[in-house]
Amino acid sequence: MGIQRLNHAVLYVRDIGRSVDFYTALLGFRVVHRLAGAAFLQAADSANDHDLGLFEIGAGASASPAGKDSVGLYHLAWSVPTLADLVEHERVLREAGALIGASDHVTTKALYARDPDGLEFEVSWLVPADRVTEAMRSEVAVRPLDLDAEITRWGAQLVGMA
């Protein structure tokens, strides 16, 4: 009874149009189905029916208290094929004012951002499994991400773990 992967996530948002614009323009999702107050988006290289469902609940919705004073989802993480892709996402997210951080987790190189409703997400590149050493597996670290150094080490076009 093994789980293979996350098929999709569903988010409640204040404004469906604003959220669709954000996820399509900044992350390259495409709308595969649209209803009044709802949209279903697919990631550019995904074979899923949809990867993200968005449901509008209105401008008066309060911010999620998850992680502040209640339990809840911290963030979603999407992976990109290469470090060159990660660099491009960093540029786009920074220009949009959505980027809030970047971390090197040894085997994962991660950008953190917030959507228009303040929901956090991650865009990451994962070191290919055949390049991960035992020392890397055992190291638990959160360091500042230096994309130039990572590209020097791994190359801009090395395809990471899917």
Same domain, 95 and 153: yes
pLDDT in tens, the chain (162 residues): 788 888 999 999 999 999 999 999 999 999 999 999 999 999 999 999 999 999 999 999 999 999 999 999 999 999 999 999 999 999 999 999 999 999 999 999 999 999 999 999 999 999 999 999 999 999 988 999 999 999 999 999 999 997
- Which domain range does residue 29 map to? 1-59
Q: In CATH, what number is assigned to the domain containing residue 123?
A: 3.30.720.110
The backbone torsions φ and ψ at residue 66, rounded to the nearest 5 degrees and listed phi first, read -55, 130
Same domain, 87 and 34: no
Q: In CATH, what number is assigned to the domain containing residue 55?
A: 3.10.180.10
**Residues with Cβ < 8 Å from 145, sequence gap 6 or more?**
102, 103, 104, 109, 110, 111
Same domain, 104 and 158: yes
Same domain, 38 and 78: no
Q: Enter the pTM of the model.
A: 0.94
The backbone torsions φ and ψ at residue 77, rounded to the nearest 5 degrees and listed phi first, read -130, 130
- Rounded CA gap, 82 and 16, in Å? 30
* Token pair 């409703």 in the structure block, residue: 117
Same domain, 135 and 83: yes
Same domain, 55 and 90: no
